Amino acid sequence: MRLALCVRTALLSCCVVLVAACGEQAAPAASSPVLPTIAQQPPLPGLRVRPLTDRTFERTEARRERGRYLADGILQCALCHSDRDWGQPGAPPVQSRTMAGHVWKDEGATRLVAPNLTSDVETGVGGWSDDMLARAIREGISHDGRPLHPQMWYPSFSMLSDEDLASVVVYLRSLPAIRNPLPRTQLSEEQVQRIVGRPMPITAPVGGPVDDSPVERGRYLAAIGDCGGCHTLWESKRLPGAFAGGNAISRDGKNLYSTNLTPHATGIDYDATAFVPLIRTGKQGLTHPVMPWVAFRHLSDEDLEALHAFLQTRHPVAHAISNLAPPTMCAVCGQEHGLGAINRREKPKGVAVPEATLRDYVGTYRVERYDWTLRVTLEHGRLHAQSADEPPAELVPLDDTLFAMDGGLGPLRFRRDANGRVDAVVSEDVDDVVLARIDTTAPAP
């Protein structure tokens, strides 16, 4: 069952850096750099592009430092836009070429290139305007109007707050120029057609965490760092669940399966005092460098503790994974990976819920952002959920409002409004996705 895959089709990959924004007033003309005119590509059918503005972001030391913290840390910009030294623990960027770009793949009709982000005018982004950088980072549109390959993490970076976006751009502007001519990314027409609908213009303000609590700050960091993108298996015979690992990741010829980050004995069932040094040091350098601990080591204790706090709110999943053990078939995810053979599919026992309560949940729910519609039905005293043309999945009640879903990304929690009417269902997967109820009456079972 691949129910809820449509919720995260934009988060399938792990790796690159650039973005787009709103909310900053244009600086006085005197502070705007004189930039060369860059020819814009003709718009492709189906490509949504926000027109460029002449805004610039005020350069302050506070912004530059915040941008450095984000780019070197949770956003992992240097790990994607630099050649790396795979002979060193964590494979840090080659110091003399940091942010100078990297050719990811050059095979046949496909060439993926993370561009030079330094201020060199000829080979870097020194000739780009602030809004060109901003639009690329958050909206997936290059400086000349082309759609960016989703290996550039713009779906995750779309959640960067306006202020953090401004800080990243200010920091990139401060990078010393490194001359490094690189070929352009090259995609086949078929590849372009597959990605042309993904970029989304951002025309409204984007805020940060809803409050400064550890859980909400951790939620924000996990979103912009795409933790769920790497540590969630998105496509397989069976989905173990959000953050439950099993996603096959390939980087510069290195391959591994992401591990389980849910609060289970096979995942992260330890406290923050153990989590912080593990993430910062990569188990004293033993963790495979495809896991970007060499970037996460730059995060503060407070932010790593916040990330841990958020992950502890996710649904626990039994899914043991090791990249050191020989691969064996796993019943939980349907793949071969280390420790796969010890995993067993276990259906939750469930609890008794009155049928009148179950009947309240019957209906159709939808979230426009992810183009996801969910139909909940009641048959023989059991709830089922169905998305698009997928077969229905049984919902097993964990309590009166929370239901586990085999093969789904996370459990579903039904929500009532102030009048007691069920008005939404919340998918507790990579983040809490609210699907509003769109029918006014529940059909009889």
Please, where in the chain does CATH 2.40.128.50 lie? 355-437
Q: How confident is the model at residue 18, as a pLDDT?
A: 36
Confidence tier at 440 by pLDDT (50, 70, 90): low
Q: How confident is the model at residue 151, as a pLDDT?
A: 86
Q: How confident is the model at residue 359, as a pLDDT?
A: 96
Non-local (6+) Cβ contacts of 7 within 8 A are 367, 370, 372, 409, 427, 429, 433
Spatial distance between the Cα atoms of 219 and 314, rounded to a whole number of angstroms: 11
Q: How confident is the model at residue 12, as a pLDDT?
A: 35
Per-residue pLDDT of 196-232, as tens digits, reads 999 999 999 999 999 999 999 999 999 999 999 999 9
Q: How confident is the model at residue 436, as a pLDDT?
A: 97
Mean pLDDT of all residues in 140-168: 94
Report yes or no: 44 and 129 within 8 Å, Cβ to Cβ: no
Nearest residue to 59 via CA among 150, 146, 166: 166
Q: Which CATH architecture has domain 355-437?
A: Beta Barrel (2.40)
Q: How confident is the model at residue 37, as a pLDDT?
A: 66
Spatial distance between the Cα atoms of 359 and 25, rounded to a whole number of angstroms: 51
pTM attached to this predicted model: 0.88
Q: How confident is the model at residue 334, as a pLDDT?
A: 92
**222 exposed, middle or buried (CB, 10 Å; 0-12, 13-18, 19+)?**
buried
Q: How confident is the model at residue 203, as a pLDDT?
A: 93
Q: How many CB atoms lie within 10 A of CB 417?
A: 10
Per-residue pLDDT of 32-64, as tens digits, reads 455 666 777 777 888 999 999 999 999 999 999
Spatial distance between the Cα atoms of 127 and 123, rounded to a whole number of angstroms: 9
Q: Structure tokens of 385?
A: 């959920």
Mean pLDDT of all residues in 86-105: 93
Please give the torsion angle defined by the CA atoms of residues 401, 4, 266 and 289, in that order, rounded to the nearest 10 degrees.
Answer: -140
Confidence tier at 244 by pLDDT (50, 70, 90): very high
Confidence tier at 14 by pLDDT (50, 70, 90): very low
Per-residue pLDDT of 344-367, as tens digits, reads 998 888 999 999 999 999 999 999
Per-residue pLDDT of 374-395, as tens digits, reads 999 999 999 999 998 788 999 9
Spatial distance between the Cα atoms of 334 and 232, rounded to a whole number of angstroms: 14
Per-residue pLDDT of 409-422, as tens digits, reads 899 999 999 999 99
Q: How many CB atoms lie within 10 A of CB 314?
A: 26
* DSSP annotation of 147: B
Instruction: Specify the 3-state DSSP secondary structure of 374.
Output: strand
Helices (H) and strands (E) in the chain, counts: 12, 14
Per-residue pLDDT of 255-305, as tens digits, reads 789 999 999 999 999 999 999 999 999 888 778 888 899 999 999 999 999
Specify which residues 106 forms β-bridges with. 111
